[in-house]
Structure 1
Amino acid sequence: MPIFKHPEYPEATLLRLESMVPCRESQVSTLLSIFGELPHVFVNCIECFTSRLLLEDILRQLQHLSSKKEDPPPPPLSCDTFNDFIRLLKQATMSPDLNNQTLYVVLDNAEKLREMEANLLPGFLRLQELTERNVTLVLLSEIVWDLLRPNTGCLEPLPLYFPDYSIGHLQKILSHDHPPEYSFDFYAAYINILLGVFYPVCRDLKELRHLAVLNFAKYCEPVVQGEANERDTRQLWKNIESHLKKAMQTVYLREISSSQWERLQQDDGEPGQLKGLSAHAHVELPYYSKFLLIAAYLASYNPARTDKRFFVKHHGKIRKTNFQKKHEKTSNHLLGPKPFPLDRLLAILYSIVDSKVAPNANIFSQITSLVTLQLLTLVGHDDQLNGPRYKCNVSLDFIRGISRTVNFDIIKYLYDFL
C-alpha cells in the first residue's frame, strides 16, 4: 500500500476538518499529510449488508467520480462475484480523471465483512495487486485488527489507532450539542454531571450522546417549572440523581425508546424497585455489563470442559459424575480464578443472556470498562495467536449480588455447587 506525501495544506483546510471531528487534531493532521484531498469512495458496511450491495455501491460511486456533470446518468452495473468486481473496477479506473491518481476505497464498520463471503476481505486487501491500479483500501472499525483478521491469510494493513476520548474531550464535544434555547454554560454543567455518573462504565461517545439527549428534559424540569434557575446546580442535581441511576440500566441497550424512557421516569417508585437495580449492589453497572461480568465469573471458575453441559440447550441434565475425576478434590474457588479467552467469554454470554437482551451492544467497549474498573484483569494480551485472555476479580458474594439484580441464579451454573 503506497503512501504519498503531500505538500502542506492551508490552515483553513485543517481547521475545517478539525471542526468536523473535534479533539482529533493530531490524527486529522496525520491523515491529511498522508492522503490529502484525493478521489475516494465511502461505503458503510452496515447499509451494504451483502457482498453484492457492497461491490455495486463502490462501482456506482466510481461511475460518478469518472463522469462529468453534463454527461447522462450512467446505467446501473450488475456485479455478482468478486472477479466481476475486479474487472469492472479496472475499467472504471481507466478514465483520465482517475488513471493518474490514487483512488481510496473507504469501508466503514469493516467488522461486518466477517459476516460476508470468506474471500471478500482478503480480496479487498489485495486490490492494488489484483487491479494493477493505484488503489488503496482504508478500513474503519471499532474493533482491533486481531479480531477482524481472516483465517485464510491476507496482507497485513498499516494500523492507525485512535485513542479513547478523555473525560475532558467528551466534556468539550458533548457540550457543543446544547439546545439553542439554553446557554452553553448551563448545558456544559449538565454534561459534567452526566459524565460524573456514566464515565466510569461508558466511554462511547455515541452512547453518551444518546444518554445526554434522553435525560436532559428531566434535568431542565425545575427550570421549566420555575422552581430553580440555571445556576442552581445543587437543586438540579438532586432532581435528576435518581433518574440517572435508573438510566444506568439502559446503557448500551436499544430495546428502550425515548418515549418508553419518559414513561419510566414518571414512575414514582424507588430506584431500587426498578428491575435490574439493587440497593445491595456494590457497584452501579449497565444491565448488559452485568451479564458480561457474570459470564466472566463462570469462565474463571468453571472448567472449560463443562461448558457444553451448562450452556448448550437441550443437552440433558448435568451430573457431576460426568465430569469429576478421581484426583479432583480441590474446589475451583479455593484455587482462584483462571484465565479464559475472549471467544469463550462471548459464547457463555450469549448463552446466559438468551431472550433477556438482544446481543446488539458494543461488547468490546464494555469489556474495556470492566477492566478499567478492575472487575476484570487482562492477561496474555501480547499473545496475538490466541488473542486476549481475562480473569474475573470479583468475589462470590459480589457476583451473587450482581446476579440477583438481573434475576439470574448463578449458583445453578457453578461447577463447585453441583
Structure 2
Amino acid sequence: MTSLLEQPGYDEEKLQMVAEQLLCREDQAGLLLSLMGQPQQYCYPSIFIYGHQASGKSHVMHVMLKELELPHAIISCVECVSSSLLFELVLFSFFGSEASSLLPRSPSLSDFVRIYRQQCLQAPATQTRYIVMEKAELLRDADANLLPALLRLQELDNVSVILLSEISWDKFRPNTGCFEPLLLHFPDYSKGDLHQILSQDSHPKYSDDFYSSYINILLGVFYTVCRDLRELRHLVRHTHTHTVKETDTHKLWRNIEPHLKKAMQTVYLREVSSVQWEQMQQMEEKEAGALRGLSAHTHVELPYYSKFLLVAAYLASYNPARTDRRFFLKHHGKIKKTNFLKKNEKTSNHLLGPKPFPLDRLLAIFYSVVDSRVAPTASIFSQISSLVTLQLLTQVSHDDQLDAPKYKCAVSLDFICAISRTVNFEIVKYLYDFL
C-alpha cells in the first residue's frame, strides 16, 4: 500500500509505482525506505537483509533503486569470481569506464580505496550511493579484509552497502570482527501471499475465479514441501490444461493430477525445463502412454560418463560381487546362474534393496561397460561427487575413510532403464535378477 511507502524527498507517483510492484512486501519495503531516508541524506553504513530463497530480497531492492532513480551498483557475488572484478564493477557503475580503467592488472584493496577516494573528490555524491551485494554469503570465502572494508566504506563517501543473503548474520559474521550492519529479515511468503502473487499471472483463456481455484489446488499440494515462489510459478505455468471447461472441476483434477505427481518428484531440482516439459507431454500423447509410469527423473540430463557411472553403480548395488566375472570378463566361459547361486540366496536383490560397494569395484564395472577407453582422470572422480550431491548415489562410509569409500545407488529400476537407453546400453542383460 502507498501509505507504507510515504517518505519525504521522493515523488509520490514513483512511490505508488514501487508499491504496485512489491506485492505482499509492502511492510519490508516501507521499513527499508525509512532506513534509507531522503536521497541526499546519509543512510545507515551497511544493511544486512536475510531470508530464504525467493523471499523477495533482490526484487525489492531492484524495484526500489530503479523506480526511485537512486545511484546504485548491483553486484552478484556468484559472477564476481575475484575481488578485482568487484572493484571494477563498483567504479564503473558510479564513475564510468574511465575510473575502472585506472585499476592496475591485479588491484589490491588499497588500490580500490585510493581510486574510489579520488573519484569522490572529483565527483562528490549529491545522493546516497548504494552497493547491493547479492548472494553475499560467498564473501566469506573472499579475502579476510574485503568484507570489513566494504562495511566501513561510508568513511570515504556517502555510500551504503546492502548485503543480501540466505543465511543469518550469526553464521555470516567473520572471525576477524567488523562493523556490525543493521539486520533486516524477510520472512517466507505465507500461503495467502503466494496465492495472491500467483493469481496475478492469470491465463487469458480462463476467468480470474477459475484460475484462482486452480492456484488454490496447486498450493494445497505443494505448499507443505515447497514455498519457493519461482518454483511454484514454474509449476503453475506448465501443469494447467487447456482442454477442460471451467465448470468441470473433477475433470480438471484428473487431468492435472499426474502432472502434479511428476512435479512433486522434481521440485527444487528443476531437472525439467519448460521446453522439455512440453515435449514430454507431447511424447506421452503420441506414444499412447509408453513412458507412463516413469517418473520425471527419467528425463534428467547428465554428462555422458556420469550416465555410465550411474549404470555401473546400479549394477554394483544389485549384482552380487561374485557375478562380476560372469558379466564383465570376456573369457569367462559358460556359467549358469545355478552354479553361483548360494543356498540362502532365494530372495531377489531388488526386493532386498541396494547394497554398498567400494569405489574400486564401481570403477572396474565402469571401465567394462563404457564403450571407449577412458583414463582415470580427476574429472571422473568429480562426477562421482556430483552424483552424490544430486542424491543419485549415497555415500555410506565416513568422510574420513579416504582409502576405501563405499557408496549405494539410490535410483529406481525405471530410472536406470531410462538412463541406460540414452547411452544405448541394455542394462537388463547385466542384472543378476533377470537372468
**Normalising to structure 2: TM-score of the pair?**
0.55
Cα distance change on mapping 1:84 and 1:244 into 2, 3 Å:
same
Determine helix, strand or coil for the equivalent of 1:41.
Answer: strand
- Residue of structure 2 in register with 1:248 after alignment: 264
CA distance in 1, matches of 2:222, 2:384: 23
Equivalent AA in structure 1 for residue 264 of structure 2:
M
Aligned-partner SS, 2:18: helix
Measured after TM superposition, the shift of residue 111 of structure 1 is 2.1
In the TM superposition, residue 179 of structure 1 has moved relative to its aligned partner by 3.9
Count of residues in Structure 1 that have an aligned counterpart in Structure 2: 280
Q: Distance in 2 between matches of 1:262 and 1:115?
A: 40
Gaps of 5+ in 1: 65-72, 223-227, 278-309, 315-350, 361-399, 409-418
SS in 2 for 1:160: strand
**Quick one: distance in 2 between partners of 1:311 and 1:28?**
53
1:197 aligns with 2:213: no
Choose 169-178 or 88-97, whichever is displaced more.
88-97
1:148 corresponds to 2:172? yes
C-alpha distance 27-91 of structure 1, shift in aligned 2 (>3 A): same
Which of residues 133, 139, 155 in structure 2 aligns to 1:107? Answer: 133
Equivalent position of 1:262 in the other structure: 278
Change (3 A) 1:85 1:96: closer
Contact 1:43 1:106 in 2 (8 A): yes
Q: Percent identity?
A: 48
Name the SS of the counterpart of 2:73 in structure 1. strand
- Taking the aligned partners of 1:312 and 1:51, their CA distance within structure 2 comes to 41
Which of 183, 187, 207 does residue 231 from structure 2 map onto? 207
Q: Which residue of 2 aligns with 1:356?
A: 387
The correspondence for 1:93, drawn from 97, 120, 130, is 120
Residue of 251, 254, 258 corresponding to 1:235: 251
Letter in 2 for 1:82: L
CA contact (8 A) 1:8 1:33 kept: no
* Counterparts in 2 of 1:114 and 1:261: CA distance versus 1, 3 Å: farther
TM-superposed CA distance for 1:250, in Å, is 1.4
Residue equivalent to 1:52: 84
Q: For residues 131-170 of structure 1, what are the structure 2 equivalents within 5 Å?
A: 131=156, 133-170=157-194
Q: Is 2:128–2:158's contact at 8 Å kept on the other side of the alignment?
A: yes
Q: Take 1:23 and 1:124, find their aligned partners in 2: how far apart are those partners?
A: 31
- Aligned residue identity for 2:81: F
CA–CA distance in 1 between the matches of 2:183 and 2:357?
Answer: 36
Q: Give 1:286-305 correspondences, 5 Å limit.
A: none
Structure 1 CA distance for aligned equivalents of residues 191 and 384 of structure 2:
31
Please report how far the alpha carbon of residue 270 of structure 1 lies from its aligned counterpart in structure 2 after TM superposition: 8.4
Shift of 1:53: 1.7
AA aligned to 2:295 is: L
CA-atom RMSD in angstroms: 3.8
3-state SS of the aligned residue for 2:112?
helix
TM-aligned CA deviation for residue 260 of structure 1: 2.5
Query: Which residue identity is paired with 2:258?
Result: S
Could you tell me how far apart the structure 2 residues matched to 1:21 and 1:40 are?
Answer: 19
From the superposition, tell whether residues 107 and 186 of structure 1 become closer, same or farther in structure 2 (CA, over 3 Å): same
Which of 118, 126, 131 is residue 152 of structure 2 equivalent to? 126
Residues 352 and 206 of structure 1, relative CA distance in 2, 3 Å threshold: same
CA distance in 2, matches of 1:81, 1:270: 57
Q: Is the Cα–Cα contact under 8 Å of residues 275 and 406 in structure 1 kept in the other structure?
A: no
- Matched residues in 2 for 1:159 and 1:311: separation? 48
Aligned residue among 26, 34, 40 for 2:72: 40
In the TM superposition, residue 88 of structure 1 has moved relative to its aligned partner by: 1.5
C-alpha distance in structure 2 between counterparts of 1:103 and 1:29, whole Å = 19
Give 2:320's aligned residue: none
Q: Offset at 1:123?
A: 2.1
The one-letter amino acid paired with 1:53 is L
